[in-house]
Amino acid sequence: MGDNMSDSDTLDHDSEREETESFDTEPHLNLYRHGRRYSLTRLEQHPWPIDETEKDRLEEQHVLLRELFEGRLYLAPIESPRNVLDIRTGTGCWAMECAERYPSSAVRGIDLVNMQDEWVPPNCEFWVDNLCQPGWHTQYTNIDFVHINQIQGDRQLLSLLLEGSNSCCAPGGWVEICDMTVQLDNPGEDSPFHKYIQEMTTAHARDGRQMDLPLHFGAELTRHGFINVTERSYDLPLCTEGRDKLKKRIIQNWTAGLEGYSFTLLEKHLGKNFTETVLMCASARRALQGKIEGYLQMSTGCVRTETGLAAFNDQ
């Protein structure tokens, strides 16, 4: 998108978080477009907003998913991890809560973009770094737990993260990845929501991404040399009528992010302008008030890095 800027687009150097600027490995430029803020420096790898609107949505999502996981921050059976990496940390809310729960631990949140708070627990720090580099993990050693957040269908990034995680974990360390995808019972239907998913699937593919990548976490972990992989999924019906409040709120939180999630990829790969994307997302949300058959699936993959040890049992 940086090569296709309009007169309404503006650039600015990131002047936030001077106190933690030393954690950045390079200066970052911001792009302002249609009232949203993006990282111009990392737009290819992270084509989604990094502004306060998106931060608020992601922080609410964290609270809702924690409730879905019955208060747990992770599903791996590790009671008090000492050294933790939170990869694709986003707003950093997971990393900060982990640091607060385990004050004797050292928690590092790592991401491509700067969305994290200035003020953090003393045992937590954030690094903005290029996770797309093969050697991203070399400065981290003896890690007890690697927590990988949503990677938005980027199979190449997933490979780099799994390879790096396997290298920097201590023997017997744990790796857990969590992400979400939409599963439609009848993907060929022509509702506005189905149309939205079809076009986003095309845009993802043209961007080198795979919308259903979370369904393949187990296979990817196995392909990268992990054994005894455990997968778990939570199915949240897209039709929220008659469903419990928590599942309904998770769906609402997800749909609130459709525009930010879609705009850059739809413009870049399908030529849609801002108005077209806004109208498409609004129509998709309205369609969800009907009887869309399918669900938003939360998928997790978890494995212990030491050969031969069994993965965790259902809790």
The residue among 166, 169, 87 whose CA lies nearest residue 129 is 87
**For a pLDDT cut of 90, what percent of the chain falls above it?**
74
pLDDT value, residue 20? 37
The HSE-up count of residue 284 (CA atoms within 13 Å, CB side) is 24
pLDDT value, residue 23? 53
pLDDT value, residue 312? 37
The residue among 161, 13, 163 whose CA lies nearest residue 89 is 161
Q: Which CATH number fits domain 7-304: 3.30.1490.20, 3.90.1150.10, 3.40.640.10, 3.40.50.150?
A: 3.40.50.150
Residue-wise pLDDT tens digits, 51-86: 999 999 999 999 999 999 999 999 899 988 999 999
Residue-wise pLDDT tens digits, 295-304: 999 999 999 8
> Cβ of 25: how many Cβ atoms within 10 Å?
11
pLDDT value, residue 32? 94
User: Can you read off the two tokens belonging to residue 96?
Assistant: 């900060």
Question: CA separation (Å) from 86 to 73, 74, 90, 127, 208?
Answer: 11, 11, 9, 10, 24
The residue among 88, 112, 109 whose CA lies nearest residue 99 is 109
Question: CA separation (Å) from 105 to 24, 87, 147, 208?
Answer: 22, 16, 14, 36
Q: What is the mean pLDDT of the chain?
A: 88
Angle formed by the axes of helices 258-270 and 245-256, to 10°?
40
CB 128 within 8 A of CB 109: no
Residue-wise pLDDT tens digits, 148-164: 999 999 999 999 999 99
Residue-wise pLDDT tens digits, 239-258: 888 788 999 999 999 999 99
Residue-wise pLDDT tens digits, 212-245: 999 999 999 988 888 888 899 999 999 888 788 9
Q: Indicate the Cα dihedral angle 138, 144, 146, 147, nearest 10°.
A: -150
Considering the entire predicted model, what is its pTM?
A: 0.88
Instruction: Report domain extents, the chain.
Output: 7-304
- Average pLDDT in the 274-300 region? 94
pLDDT value, residue 225? 82
H/E/C letters for each residue in 214-270? HHHHHHHHHHCCCCCCEEEEEEEECCCCCCCHHHHHHHHHHHHCHHHHHHHHHHHHH
Pairing of strands 294-304, 169-184: antiparallel
Angle formed by the axes of helices 93-101 and 52-68, to 10°?
50
